[in-house]
Amino acid sequence: MLTFSNIGPIPCPYKARNRWHVVSYASATYGRVFYDDESLKSVLEKIRSEDVPLGVKITLVGDEVALIERQETKGLPYSYDRLLNVLTSVYNTPATEDPSFTLADLVLPQMEFFASLLRDSIDAPLINRFFNKAFGKIYRPSLWTEETRAWNANAFKYAFLPYAVKHGVGNAPDMAKEIYKTIQTNCVSRQSNNGTSWCAGVPTDIRRGAYCGAAKYDNEIASNFVSLMNFYSGEVQVNPYFFQEYRALMEGMACTERASQLRTVIRLFLSSPLKPTMVFGWLKTNPKASDALYLYMKSKPDLVVQYEGLSAYLDAMTYNWRSTRRLQQFMELHEKLVPKMSNATKNIFTKYEKRIRTNIEWSNKHMPAIMRWMYDNLVVIGQDPWRKRLPGKITPELYDVEITPYIPGSGKYSVYRNLTFDGKVKMTFTVKEETSEIVVNAHRLLIDTDSVVLQNNRNERIEISTTEISKDYDNGILTIPVASKLSPGNSYHLLISYYGFIFDKPFHQGPDINYNFYEFNGKQGWIFTTDFEGGPGSRSLLVCCDEPAYKAKFEISVRHPADMTALSNMINTGTVVSKDGWAVTSFQQSPVMSSYLLAICVGHFASLSAVSESGVLVRAFSWTGMEKYADFSLKVMAGAVDYMTKYFKYDFPLSKLDMVALPQHADTGAMENWGLILGNYKSLMVDMDYVDANALGRVAIVVAHEVVHQWFGDLVTLDWWSDIFLNEGFAQYWSHYGMTYTFPEQVGYM
């Protein structure tokens, strides 16, 4: 008989037979549950398709936050991807009951944390997309109109609706304005001159959202803000001790984004008896408030420096600041105000200067990975083709580009930069029509707006409004306003630094990663490659005019792991190796070509090479150990080059033609990048000991097809994608002749 007194220890296997360990979240003993990635994915899929108990979702959010804190405390690497996936899943359920306030109380601060990372950047518009992804399914207009005595439902409205209004969730902005009109109508009909608490006629829990919407989306004559101020004045005079209503009115007014109204709000807050941390805390989520606070302090330094809530003021002003430009701005203000400061005030300023520096350091480390998630989940991956075209007011002439892909190799880099790249571009262009803005293509690029520089042809800087630079995420377009008009016929230089993202699967096109396993040792290798004819396009690698009609010269340099080989359209002019495991390979300047034909490939390559009868260097690359299967393709390349040269009496215009056989590729064929054909190894290589005639013919036709494109498609290029059938038609037709020229004895079989 088994009793509790004689139970021995239960052995715990080192490896679980099942990855799931089922416990009750309501049990008396509490412990953190950290799922592996696959298990977490399954849980989130279940939440989105069927839902799970509320306690599970609450625990899930709390545990993910705790996991990040634990890793950070231990100095271990961690990712925010899991938490972002959790936040955007827990309310995306088929549930029909009232949303949970308890869950919102956990989720909303985390959502605001991510919003604060973007608010002072060019990518601030992604905040609204982020909130809509998280709450778009749970939001419904009836949250504003249905009345209930359920505490949970009312508490959720009180907490959530102001966020929904600020971030444009569903029709929340329109509903907020409509509710405020109702409040105005009710209070006018009751002839109220002493506030809104007794005449509003709408539930208290929705008023914060209504007041915020009235201020943020005010009409042209600002009548909403004026009425809010009048309501506030009346409320304070009559009900000074019942502060819930006048606090809601103050918080609502803090949503305004108009400079003159923000000055009024700041002046009001400075004289308010409420806690400075509370009133100035309302301004943290206002994207225009930090500049308003900065300018107010510059204009009234004595008033602000002597304010007892100075720390709260600076906290609100610098809450979203995490750029070098903002640091410089704060330091200049600090230096200017030093004569007016006591030692205690100096310490407060030092505290927030240190915070800005910490924010910059943190952002440099973590933002690339966070922004990858944002772009992967909130922005279109690409269009095929992109539909919106550039206005055509500028013509690119030369791109000077430097790319640094972070892939495993001899080069050392932070784990947080894995599968990203750094980019710098200097685009020289000529103005065709007078314009006050530069409109170019950029997609999935994290742009440092402080790095954007415009120069004339004498290298003199021209003023641009970096804070007004904007992205059109749906069309991959970047707009840069210029302070003065650019005149037709003049040339300019546009310089931009940025981060980009390498797709971890080679099926989206754009900048991709491939991986291989070496036959001689079985180890894994990594290859950085590009494919721009469709999908994200070359605008996902550099800022450019990414339409086939915009031809320009390219001068490429690639910083890469020193143990790897870098290839591009043109032949390299040399490689400089540094002591940190990195090298820089530079390439000859290309003739004018379309941006979609740009190609870069970096990996552990070996090659076979030959010189065609017409004097062109042809090379066939593959990952080390596989190059021996490219001999047949090399012959086809050389033969097809000679045929096209002789038949059309037009020499191949580049100094070399390379082909790289990749272990994976964006499709099963190949891409005719000028001077650098990239394709799937199955389409470009054969094992002559085992190949049959059909396979040999397929490889020959693919290789010859891409060689023909070097003339029809690359040298002569379509004006727009609707004409691509011409490219393909010529390549398909002449590839047969290129193949029979190479193997004349096979004419009867082809």
Burial 559-593 (b: 16+ CB within 10 A, else e): bbbbebbbbbbbebeeeeeeeeebbbbbbbebbeb
- Residue 57 near residue 103 (C-beta atoms within 8 A): yes
Q: 613 labelled as ligand-binding?
A: no
Please name every residue paired with 528 in a beta bridge, in sequence order, or none if there are none. Answer: 513, 602
Residue 531, token pair as written in the block: 């494919």
Contacts 24+ apart (CB under 8 A), 273-276: 274/243, 274/247, 274/250, 275/309, 275/312, 276/307, 276/308, 276/309, 276/311, 276/312, 276/313
Q: 167 labelled as ligand-binding?
A: no
Q: Is 45 exposed, middle or buried (0-12, 13-18, 19+ CB in 10 A)?
A: exposed
d(CA 527, CA 662): 8
d(CA 75, CA 478): 37
Is the peptide bond between 385 and the residue preceding it cis, with omega within 30 degrees of 0?
yes
How many other CB atoms are found less than 10 A from the CB of residue 158?
19
Catalytic entry in 64, 235, 402, 706: 706
- Of residues 251, 252, 54, 50, the one with CA closest to residue 152: 54
User: Which uninterrupted H or E stretch holds 44?
Assistant: helix 37-49
Nearby residues of 380 by Cβ (< 8 Å), 6 or more positions away: 473, 474
Q: What is the DSSP letter of 627?
A: G
d(CA 303, CA 306): 6
d(CA 692, CA 706): 22
Residue 61, token pair as written in the block: 């959010």
Rounded to 10 degrees, the C-alpha dihedral 643/644/646/652 comes to -120
Residue 292, token pair as written in the block: 């308003």
d(CA 347, CA 91): 43
Contacts 24+ apart (CB under 8 A), 365-368: 365/414, 365/416, 366/80, 366/416, 367/117, 367/446, 368/416, 368/417, 368/420, 368/446, 368/499, 368/501
- Residue 679 near residue 706 (C-beta atoms within 8 A): yes
Residue 345, token pair as written in the block: 């005030």
Please name every residue paired with 565 in a beta bridge, in sequence order, or none if there are none. Answer: 603
Q: 366 labelled as ligand-binding?
A: no
H helical segments located in 217-309: 223-238, 243-253, 259-270, 276-279, 289-299, 301-305
| Length of the chain (residues) | 750
Nearby residues of 598 by Cβ (< 8 Å), 6 or more positions away: 530, 532, 538, 541, 542, 554, 556, 568, 569, 673
d(CA 662, CA 673): 14
97 belongs to the catalytic site: no
- Of residues 114, 123, 37, 79, the one with CA closest to residue 414: 79
Q: Tell me which residues are annotated as active site.
A: 706
Per the annotation, binding residues are: 705, 709, 728
Per the annotation, binding residues for Zn(2+) are: 705, 709, 728
